[in-house]
Amino acid sequence: MQVTQYLDELPSTAASDVQLVFAFATPAAYQARVAELRAAFPQALLAGCSSAGLIAGERVDDFPMVATAISFAHSCVSHAWLKLADCAGDSFSAGQQLGAQLPKDGLRHVLLLADGLHVNGSALIDGLQHTLPAGVQVTGGLAGDGERFEQTYVYCNEHCTSQALLAIGLYGEALRIGHGSQGGWDSFGPERLITKSVGNVLYSLDDQPALALYKRYLGEHAAELPASGLKFPLSLRGPDGQPGVVRTILGVNETDGSMTFAGDMPEGTYARLMRANFERLLDGAAGAAERCNSHLTQQDAELAVLISCVGRRMVLGQAVEEEVEAVRATLGAKPVLCGFYSYGEISPLLDTEACTLHNQTMTITVLGEA
């Protein structure tokens, strides 16, 4: 397995053995350079999306584009591409359709890149996972749009489309895949009952408008919603008191006081506000990396795809690279680090089979070939 990362210049000669190129970029940059990419990597699947920041090695910045080219010795790549419009905006059936399109023989893992603002991430993953064979997991992320929350894009070869979905299938026995996801946010304050919600739109907590609660906590920063809302994700208590998931705001509606989250906000669930603890964020990143290690030893890891949450970048501010450094420190020097800051991360929940949408996490997928 060969992995090469390009920040500015792409290879002048075509590298035909490259099967997959992760091209995380701004939409403008991608459109400008897609032809170049195609020329450089004629056989590869060009995959990427817009973001709230790019990761290249241990650097984090708003690069125009970071291209990471991968060639496998014994493994293959396939993909499924879908526009949300083609499934009437139903995320669950979108996931099903994506899954249906992917060939299943030899499928080992699915990497999913999805629109960041119009998708119900949890429904999408649900729909997709139903179609996958046992043992195949999904990792990935939701495309971002900086701190603007206006429009996100997913790239697939020539396509640079908003409200689109890309599922990348990885095939072959030789593949070694590891994953890990961890947050580092702490819940605080009282539990609040989700009293009204529809899918991933939250209307009220304890019969009070959700937006009002956020404005109270944000004070003058309420003007910067939804971005400022990233500072206070909600943790949802799982059934029977089990640890649940963290949800981030994607949008607000001033008219009805509702807030759109990246995933389902089921009525009757208890939610608590969370806030970031700097140190624990870094620990989280390291922790995520450590989990990857449990699946894949340091020797085998060639590539690590880091999908971290926009909220973390906001909190970490200028020190954001420290979390990537923490990952590096844990994964070792070998794997190439690529990735982006997303509006949501996709990964199995802890050690269960069920993949789910996370927020505010550092989610890492590590690949290698035996």
Partner 1 sequence: MSLHRLLLRQLRRHLPDYADNTAQQAALQDLLEAVSLAYQQNDHERALLERSLDITSQELIERFEQAQRSLHELEQSRGELQHSLSLLSATLEATVEGVLVVDTRGQVRQHNAQLGQLLQLSHEHLSAPQRLLKHVLRQLHQPSRQLRQLRSLWQQPSATATGELSLRDGRQLAFHTQPQIVAGEEIGRVWSFRDTTEQHNHDVLMQHQAEHDSLTGLANRSLFAQRLDHALLRAEQQQGQLAVLFIDLDNFKLINDSAGHHTGDELLCAVAQRLQAALRDCDVLARIGGDEFLVLLDELDHDAQAQQIAQRLLEVLRQPLLVEGKKLWVHASLGQALYPRDGTSASELISRADMAMYHAKSRGRNNAQSFSPVLEQQVLRRVDLQSQLQGALVRGEIHMALQPKVSLADSRIVGAEALMRWTTASGQSVSPMDFIPVAEQTGLIVQLGDWILQQALDWLSTQHDQSLSIAVNLSALQLEDEQLPARLLSWLTLRNLQPERLELEVTESMLMQNRELASRFLEQVRHYGVRVAVDDFGTGYSSLNYLRWLPIDVLKIDRSFVHDLNTAQDARAIARSILSLAENLQLAVVAEGIEDPEAAAFLKEMGCSLGQGYWYSPPLSPEAFAERLSIPIPTLSALKN
Binding mask 234-273 for partner 1 (x = CB under 8 A): ---------------------------------------x
122-130, 171-179, 315-323, 356-364 -> range binding partner 1 (CB under 8 A): 315-323
- Measured CA to CA, the distance from residue 100 to residue 286 in angstroms comes to 35
Going by the DSSP 8-state scheme, the letter that residue 13 receives in this structure is S
Partners of residue 49 on adjacent β-strands: 154
- Measured CA to CA, the distance from residue 187 to residue 247 in angstroms comes to 12
> Which SS3 state, helix, strand or coil, does residue 146 take?
coil
- Measured CA to CA, the distance from residue 158 to residue 171 in angstroms comes to 23
Question: Per rule CB under 8 A, is residue 318 in the interface with partner 1?
Answer: yes
Task: Tell the smallest beta-carbon distance from residue 207 to partner 1 (Å).
Answer: 13
Binding mask 178-207 for partner 1 (x = CB under 8 A): ----------xxx-----------------
Q: Among 135, 219, 239, 241, which residue interacts with partner 1 (rule: CB under 8 A)? A: 219
Which CB sits closer to partner 1, 164 or 281? 281
Widest CA span in the chain:
62
Question: Cβ(5)–Cβ(336) under 8 Å?
Answer: yes
Query: Which structure tokens are listed for 8?
Result: 């500015």
Q: How many residues bind partner 1 (CB under 8 A)?
A: 16
- Measured CA to CA, the distance from residue 26 to residue 16 in angstroms comes to 25
Q: Among 109, 215, 231, 313, which residue interacts with partner 1 (rule: CB under 8 A)? A: 231
Binding residues among 273-292 for partner 1 as defined by CB under 8 A: 273, 275
Task: Tell the smallest beta-carbon distance from residue 342 to partner 1 (Å).
Answer: 21
Tally of CA atoms within 13 A in the half-sphere of 209 that contains its CB: 12
Question: Per rule CB under 8 A, is residue 317 in the interface with partner 1?
Answer: yes
Question: Per rule CB under 8 A, is residue 217 in the interface with partner 1?
Answer: yes
Which CB sits closer to partner 1, 1 or 273? 273
Which CB sits closer to partner 1, 205 or 367? 205
Question: Cβ(263)–Cβ(342) under 8 Å?
Answer: no
Query: Which structure tokens are listed for 248?
Result: 């981030």
Task: Tell the smallest beta-carbon distance from residue 319 to partner 1 (Å).
Answer: 8
- Measured CA to CA, the distance from residue 17 to residue 2 in angstroms comes to 9
Question: Per rule CB under 8 A, is residue 59 in the interface with partner 1?
Answer: no
Q: Among 3, 136, 315, 324, which residue interacts with partner 1 (rule: CB under 8 A)? A: 315
Specify the pairing of strand 45-49 against strand 20-25: parallel
Question: Per rule CB under 8 A, is residue 92 in the interface with partner 1?
Answer: no
Which CB sits closer to partner 1, 272 or 334? 272
Task: Tell the smallest beta-carbon distance from residue 324 to partner 1 (Å).
Answer: 18
Q: Among 207, 216, 267, 294, which residue interacts with partner 1 (rule: CB under 8 A)? A: 216
Question: Cβ(177)–Cβ(131) under 8 Å?
Answer: no
Specify the pairing of strand 245-247 against strand 234-236: antiparallel
How far apart, in Å, do the first and last CA atoms of the chain sit? 9
Binding site for partner 1 (CB under 8 A): 188-190, 216-219, 221, 231-232, 273, 275, 315, 317-319
